[in-house]
Structure 1
Amino acid sequence: MAPTTLLLPDWLIPVEPDQAVLAGHGIAVRDGRIADIAPHAVLRDRHPGAAERPLAGCALLPGFVNLHTHAAMSLLRGAGDDLPLMAWLQERIWPLERKLMSADFVYDGSVLAFAEMLAGGTTCCADMYFHPEEVARAALSMGIRAAVGGTVFEISGAPPAEQMLAQALAAHEKYRGEPGLRFMLAPHAPYTVGDDMLRHLAAVAEEADLTIAIHLHETRQEVEEAVAMHGMRPAERLAHLGLLSPRLVAVHGVHLDADDIALLASHGVSLAHCPASNLKLASGLAPVARLLEAGVNLGIGTDGAASNNRLDMLSELRLAALLAKGASGDARALPAHRALHAATLGGAKALGWDDRIGSVAVGKYADLVAIRLDSARLAPVFDPVSHVVYAAGREDVEEVWIDGRTVAKKLQLTNSPSKSDLERIMSRISQWRLRAAGVISGTNTYLSQE
């Protein structure tokens, strides 16, 4: 029989059933899955001889699911600050990507991002970027669970959309057997992809059973231009083109009216809420309370480090809960338990992974995070869920597991191959910074020396 390990925290927060907090309970982990949940003494009786991991002072909960990011853009962290979305894209990000884009750029930036996420308790992420095969390779190297989305654009200077779609499908085929990977199609936005390609992507996703992720209703300008050009709002256009379905993850959803929300809800669309990025780019505040009231499945994402600038789900979780209250005028909007659900099981459901991750349940993968709540800055603890959402930070993350294996402890990676890969890439960070600085200054000095 495979060895069993008992994880023994002060509090177990399973996420489902809703509102549950199990004091003095722990879990038994075997073969990478949750084999048992019970009070500590009962676990010891049921599993004599099992190894024990005491977690006194800690809450144990599902690992966070970051429902939207652009991992490789960690190499552009801070390179485009204090700009609104379209200026940020057109004047800074797209020029940088045109000059820097390569398989090495995507791999190195993705490893950097995944290391940050793992240390902070994120065990699964949904990525949208170029060179999806490199993103998948980086995820396997770092041991993070990932839904890899191959971006599709139809804009001047970008590779042909058909070529980008082919890359996404090739990556899906190459890594089809990897249990820690899933693949998505990722048209960038309704304003950068035409009708024919959007229809085609909907058909391909249906045939191959793939999730689709798309930026949607991110800015007021996007909506106004869509109405002027197409005579309808972006969500309505996607409905006409066949994209709205339970396989769609709409990202941002800041400027949604009542009809848009009803449309997303009726088609079973999930929404990836990225509050820090929406604030930093001055895009606005998503109507989270109204989305939840309508029954839209909500997940939380950090977006990329170029527009956040942290890939920190704990800070994102707190911000999401607070903004929902301020935007709605209702202190009960997105309460702590509901916010934690969005950051775990809501994201897993959006990716079709909720039968395997997102909550602490027997049979699910042991993707877990322990958060220490017994420090002076967090005492006393009346409600551990409240503390996780409103008080704790990633500096309080004690340990992180994926498939029952420790991947990070006290903000440090524990897997030797992952640490070696990260150290190798960290030695090249200054080179990437110099390349980006050359593009920003308009000199391309560093590039011209190669």
Structure 2
Amino acid sequence: MKSLLIKSVEWNKKPTDIYIEGNRIVKIGEELNNPADKIIDGKRKAVIPGMVNCHTHAAMTLFRGFGDDMPLKPWLEDRIWPNESKLTDEDIYWGAKLACLEMIKTGTTTFFDMYTGFHSTAQAVEEMGLRAVLAGSCFDYFKPELTEKCKRESEALLASMHKYSDRLTYAIGPHAIYTVSGELLKWVQEFATANNILVHLHLSETKGEVEASIKQFGDTPVRYLHKLGVLSPNLVVAHGIYVDEEEMQLLADHGVSVVHNPASNMKLGSGIHFMYDEMKKYGIRVGLGTDGCASSNNLDMVEVMKLTALLGKGWRENPVVLSAEEMFESATATGASILQVDAGRIEEGALADLALIDLNIPAFTPNFNFISNLVYSANGNCVDTLICDGKVLMENKVVPGENEIMDKAAQRAYDLVER
């Protein structure tokens, strides 16, 4: 069993040692002398739990900067979906590796992905050493033959998980209510409940989606799902911008979690009035996500914390709401809770998923309040070292093989567009 000792790192405003055996934090204290296979000097660094990105599409790093400044529907139908149809397994593999690299560099240890090419993404995550919940995406476009195909594919993906490490967890990802039939949504919920897996779904992202839902299904998206009987603690919805008080109560009553994606919501013009504070008051767990790089352009969860806080304060005209501490909690402990991962906190016995923050930069000078500086002053470039599952994935801001990953991913992206 490999061991790791982090010496004199700042935690709770004082120098602390953290001793790790295998993939767990074993001891936290001052001047620990446990023998270790590796020792990291934590001076002028602070330690935080690895951040949790609760919604992304990893391989869409290949579409970074491709189709910018467009509305959601034509962006999807004219730019993204036609080019996604040309993706190969090799494209997805390198796109996912690039995403993992970016998340390592910016302090994320766990992410919730929904995309095509499940096994290519899984291979990339395994090799990069991160932790992920991978949602096998489902689209049936209301066609019965595709409904049955999605069911069989989902069963096969679940059955294949034995070949991957414990860092990878299977979930099921029906894309949205406008691309997935009610019949398939009901089957997905039964399948998820029977197998104790999470369900990931885009929901109430735009006004147009809500209007179309009322026209097609006779009700708003959350009420429609309630009528189908698919609201449950297994369900994690992305976006959830357009929900009213009754819908928030329905989500809370059924234990549904919601993921806020501020960069994507703003860039696509989907909306800014995300009810973070109201949802929290109803008891809804709210995680944070980047969405894919085609709509958010990066996977920097430090940036997401700042955007969430400033956007929420701005449209409410209230500087008190959405504090830095709340943002940090959402990006770490709450995200880990939503994804059912025993991480997101620095405690003896917890998974050793940690990020060391470089304090020797202007963003942390002066350092009256570390969490405030992290959320409001810094960005992901402040991450010096990343540890996931007890293994050092980045040290001194260097990830082994990072240049090759960037070169290969860029070439795959250029080749894809040329096709």
Q: Do the structures match in fold with TM over 0.5?
A: yes
Of 17, 32, 40, 2:23 maps to: 32
1:294 to 282, 293, 314: 282
Distance change (3 Å), C-alpha of 1:313 and 1:425: closer
Q: 2:165 aligns with which of 178, 203, 208?
A: 178
Task: Tell me the distance in 2 between the aligned counterparts of 1:360 and 1:308.
Answer: 29
Q: State the alpha-carbon separation in 1 of the partners of residues 145 and 131 from structure 2.
A: 28
Name which of 197, 206, 222 aligns with 1:235: 222
CA 1:300 to 1:110, structure 2 compared with 1: closer, same or farther past 3 Å?
Answer: same
Q: Which amino acid aligns with 1:235?
A: V
Residue 136 (1) aligns with residue 122 (2): yes
> Distance between the aligned counterparts of 1:199 and 1:91, measured in 2?
30
Choose the corresponding residue for 1:213, options 189, 200, 206: 200
Distance of 2:325 and 2:17 partners within structure 1: 19
* Whole-Å separation in 2 of the counterparts to 1:425 and 1:168: 31
CA drift of 1:365 comes to: 1.3
- What is the letter of the counterpart of residue 75 of structure 1? L
After superposition, where does 1:430-449 map in structure 2 within 5 Å? 430-436=411-417, 438=418, 447=419
CA contact (8 A) 2:141 2:181 kept: no
Comparing 110-119 and 368-377, the one that deviates more: 368-377
Is residue 89 of structure 1 aligned with residue 76 of structure 2?
yes
The structural deviation recorded for 1:4 is: 4.0
2:59 maps to amino acid: A
Asked whether the 8 Å contact 1:73–1:305 carries over to 2, the reply is yes
SS in 2 for 1:96: helix
Query: CA shift at 1:361, angstroms?
Result: 1.3
Q: Which amino acid aligns with 1:433?
A: Y
> Which residue in the other structure is 2:189 paired with?
202
Please tell me whether residue 271 in structure 1 is matched to residue 281 in structure 2: no
1:155 positional shift: 3.0
* Match among 323, 333, 357 for residue 335 of structure 1: 323
Superposition TM-score, scaled by structure 2 size: 0.94
- Tell me the distance in 2 between the aligned counterparts of 1:378 and 1:29: 27
Match among 200, 205, 211 for residue 224 of structure 1: 211
Cα distance between partner residues in 2 of 1:9 and 1:393: 23
- Kindly provide the amino acid, as one letter, of the partner of residue 6 in structure 1: L
- Residue 256 of structure 1 aligns with an amino acid whose one-letter code is V
Amino acid of the residue matched to residue 184 of structure 1? A
Partner of 2:293, secondary structure, is coil
Q: Distance in 2 between matches of 1:151 and 1:196?
A: 16
- Cα offset, 1:154, TM superposition: 2.3
Match of 1:15 in 2: none
Partner residue, 1:71: 58
Aligned length: 417
Q: 1:303 is paired with a residue of what secondary structure? A: coil
2:139 matched to 1:153? yes
The residue type equivalent to 1:349 in the other structure is S
SS at 1:427 equivalent: helix
Q: Residues of 1 paired with 2:305 and 2:221: CA distance?
A: 27
On the 8 A contact 1:297/1:350 being kept in 2, the answer is yes
Cα 1:71–1:120 change in 2 (3 A) is same
Unaligned runs of 5+ residues in structure 2 are none
1-structure distance, mates of 2:144, 2:292: 20
Whole-angstrom distance in 2 between the partners of 1:84 and 1:262: 30
Q: Following the alignment from structure 1 to structure 2, what is the Cα–Cα distance between the partners of residues 142 and 10?
A: 25
Partner Cα distance (1:207, 1:58) in 2: 45
Deviation digits for residues 372-397 of structure 1 (CA, Å, limit 9, x no counterpart): 12323430101111111111222211
Checking the alignment, whether the CA contact within 8 Å between 2:204 and 2:239 is kept in structure 1 is yes
Cα displacement (A) at 1:428: 5.7
Show the counterpart of 1:315. 303
Q: Match for 2:27: what amino acid? A: D
1:186 touches 1:212 (CA, 8 Å); kept in 2? yes
Quick one: which amino acid aligns to residue 301 of structure 1?
Answer: G
Q: Which consecutive residues of structure 1, in runs of 5 or more, have no partner in the other structure?
A: 13-20, 439-446
Query: TM-score normalized by structure 1?
Result: 0.88
> How big is the shift at 1:197?
0.7
- 2:330 and 2:266 map into 1 onto residues whose CA distance is 19
RMSD: 2.1
Moved more, 23-32 or 117-126: 23-32
Change (3 A) 1:159 1:307: farther
| Distance change in 2, residues 1:361/1:166 (3 Å) | farther
Q: In structure 2, the residue corresponding to 1:380 is in which secondary structure?
A: coil
- Could you tell me which amino acid in structure 2 is paired with residue 11 of structure 1? E
* Partner-residue secondary structure (3-state), 2:28: strand
1:63-86 residue CA offsets vs partner (Å, 9 max, x unmatched): 011100001111111111001111
Runs (4+) off by over 6 Å: 156-159
Alpha-carbon separation, structure 2, partners of 1:156 and 1:305: 28
Structure 2 match to 1:17: none
Are 2:269 and 1:282 equivalent residues in the alignment?
Answer: yes
Secondary structure of residue in 2 paired with 1:229: helix
One-letter identity of the residue aligned with 2:73: M
The equivalent of 1:382 in structure 2 is 368
Change (3 A) 1:302 1:129: same
